[in-house]
Homo-oligomer: A and B are copies of this chain.
Amino acid sequence: MTMESIDINCDMGESFGNWTIGEDEIVVRQITTANVACGFHAGDPVTLMRTADLIRDAGIVAGCHPGLPDLLGFGRRAMNVSADDLYAYVAYQVGAARAVLGARGIELHHVKPHGAMFASTSASAELADAVVSAIIDTCPEPVLYTPTSIAGDTMPTIARDRGVKVVSEFYPDLSYTDDGYPRTERNKHHVDPERVVNVVRQFLDRGTVTTKTGNEIPIEADSFCLHGDSPNAGEIAIVVKKTVEELGIAMRPATAFEPPSGASENKP
């Protein structure tokens, strides 16, 4: 199996005030889709505005990357939030991102929960449902970006059941378990470009990934997810794009989909 086209997304706008993370100016020109941080785990209104400018100039698609309210932990620490909390956190951040992007002529494309917010939805159908409801209630067209495993995950299943388009992600810079899950433990380490190229090539050629234990397992995904906070994020984005181009595969956002039904009753 060879794919005809692939989406490449990357988290962006994760700087905060005077502090800079990432190489967004480089990365934005290699990808099809950006996920913008919204101020809870990273980002702030001014950073968001500058990121919107970058995205507009690059002409790519943009979604919202909401996180838990934990700047000190970069949204990566589990917090015991309620479903009501989570719904409100997502709705608030989607709205903020949508407005700032909209002020630059960019329509919000999707929502991709960050770090511990995403992780919380794996263990709890109630929390997953809260996130999905918030997406339905605040997005122009409800689209969820998320990793999906062979076994299927709580939130993607709920999202599909409620008419939300799910875009499956594949993480070329993470290790995978035999169950098809990306291993989330990662650091701000330099990423090996050669390894990433091989992983990307294998996925695009054979639709598989080789797991930590050496097994080659099938993976389905609509989008590569790159990490914008690696010290060599720009280099990685460049080699991924180059690899995709060499294989003659088109880079295209994962946007063509049927209009959702079953939207939440609170939708205005």
Contact = CB atoms under 8 A, between A and B. Distances in A.
A84 B49 contact: yes
A26 interface: no
A138 interface: yes
A48 B88 CA distance: 8
Given A45-B91, A48-B92, A95-B96, A266 B18 contact: no
Interface stretch (A100-108, A148-156, A164-172, A193-201): A100-108
Given A21-B18, A95-B97, A138-B99, A46 B84 contact: yes
A17 interface: yes
Given A78-B80, A79-B73, A89-B45, A18 B229 contact: yes
How many monomers of this protein are in the complex?
Answer: 4
Nearest to A105: B268
A85 B16 contact: no
Contacts of A44: 72, 88
A173 to B, nearest CB: 17
Interface residues of A, number: 55
Contacts of A97: 95
A102 B17 contact: no
Nearest to A98: B95
Interface string A49-84: 100000000000000000001111110011111001
B229 A49 contact: no
